[in-house]
């Protein structure tokens, strides 16, 4: 505060805010440092979790691959066993001499088991003459 007394100005020592600001500054930097340390710990724990999930995913993919190979081998074994009639069974003969009527397809035949594995590609429509390039007009430059 300033007081005017005659020609002289006298200054009173007032309360300075500088020590409070310094303390506030140090506390804020301390909190900021704690935040950075905690974020580092969080990032490290997340990295560990991601690595663990990745290894589990690789292991699960391997197990699924082995299971698919086993199923394919079983399906192939079934189709091969269905293709060859057992030697003990003979084809039944019709006593009337007529050919037997067509039998309904059995479940698990080759046509059904391969339908999921290899589907035929759709046929492409033929190109129209308007879409073909005219080779006489093609510019070849070097």
Range of the structural domain that residue 58 is part of: 40-84
* pLDDT for the residue numbered 140: 73
Is the residue at 101 inside a domain? Answer: no
In a domain, 74, yes or no: yes
Backbone angles phi, psi at 43, to 5 degrees: -65, -40
At 82, is the secondary structure helix, strand, or coil?
helix
Total domain count, the chain: 1
- Classify residue 65: in a domain, yes or no: yes
Q: What is the pLDDT of residues 87-106, one digit of tens each?
A: 555 555 555 545 445 454 55
Distance between CA 89 and CA 82 in Å, rounded? 13
Residue 21 within a domain: no
Within the chain, how many helices (H) and strands (E) appear? 2, 2
Phi first, then psi, for residue 107 (nearest 5°) are: -70, 140
Helical (H) or strand (E) element with 141: none
Residue 45 placed within a domain? yes
Tokens of 38: 């905690």
pLDDT digits (tens, 9 = 90+) for 68-92: 999 999 999 888 887 765 555 555 5
Looking at residue 130, its pLDDT comes to 60
127 within a domain of the structure (yes/no): no
How do residues 7-49 score in pLDDT, each as one tens digit? 666 566 667 899 999 999 999 999 999 999 999 999 999 999 9
Overall pTM surpassing 0.85 (yes/no): no
């Amino acid at each position: 505060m300033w007081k005017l007394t005659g020609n002289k100005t006298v200054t009173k020592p007032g309360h300075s805010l500088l020590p409070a600001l310094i303390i506030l500054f140090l506390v804020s930097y301390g909190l900021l440092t704690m935040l950075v340390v905690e974020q580092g710990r969080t990032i490290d724990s997340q990295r560990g979790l991601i690595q663990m999930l990745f290894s589990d995913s690789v292991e699960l993919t391997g197990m699924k691959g082995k299971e698919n190979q086993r199923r394919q081998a079983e399906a192939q074994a079934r189709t091969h066993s269905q293709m060859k009639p057992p030697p003990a069974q003979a084809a039944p003969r019709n006593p009337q001499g007529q050919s037997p009527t067509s039998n309904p397809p059995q479940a698990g035949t080759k046509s059904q088991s391969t339908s999921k594995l290899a589907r035929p590609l759709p046929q492409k429509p033929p190109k129209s003459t308007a879409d073909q390039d005219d080779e006489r007009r093609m510019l070849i430059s070097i």
